[in-house]
């Protein structure tokens, strides 16, 4: 099932979720964080840690952000030759520094 990070994270990126994730599956774009749906173990630690309430279970997430979250891992991002896929942990990869075009053109946090 996995979790999805929504609009409230855009330009906020509190990162409390990253600290709580036991499998290191939350990746950093330029303006938003993304949860790798393949690496996520559905524990919910990220959801309870997020002070912005930006994280929700996949089936309840905004459909645009649900699709966009998958796109971050499955399609080449701007300036990259191939998709990120499943790198096996965000820490080893470090900040990706780029977002999908959907988030790149989105307005800031959902407040």
Cα dihedral 106, 6, 67, 39 sign: positive
Q: What does the pLDDT look like over 77-106, one tens digit per residue?
A: 999 999 999 999 999 999 999 999 999 887
Whole-structure pTM value: 0.92
pLDDT of residue 73: 98
Residues in the chain: 111
Residue 108 has pLDDT above 90, yes or no: no
Whether the per-residue pLDDT at 18 is higher than 90: the answer is yes
pLDDT of the residue at 106: 73
Which residue segments constitute the domains of the chain, with CATH numbers given? 3-78 (3.30.70.20)
- Token digits of residue 46: 């990220």
104 or 76, higher pLDDT: 76
How far apart are the C-alpha atoms of 81 and 109, rounded to whole Å? Answer: 29
Report how far apart the first and last C-alpha atoms of the chain are (Å, whole number): 26
């Amino acid at each position: 099932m996995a979790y999805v990070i929504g609009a409230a994270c855009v330009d906020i990126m509190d990162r409390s979720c990253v600290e709580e994730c036991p499998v290191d599956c939350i990746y950093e774009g330029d303006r938003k964080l993304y949860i790798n749906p393949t690496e996520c173990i559905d524990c919910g630690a990220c959801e309870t840690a997020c002070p912005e309430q930006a994280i929700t279970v996949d089936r309840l997430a905004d459909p645009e952000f649900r699709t966009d979250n998958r796109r971050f891992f499955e399609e080449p991002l701007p300036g990259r030759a191939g998709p990120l896929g499943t790198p096996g942990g965000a820490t080893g990869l470090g900040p990706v520094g780029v977002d999908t075009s959907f988030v790149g053109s989105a307005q800031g946090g959902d407040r």
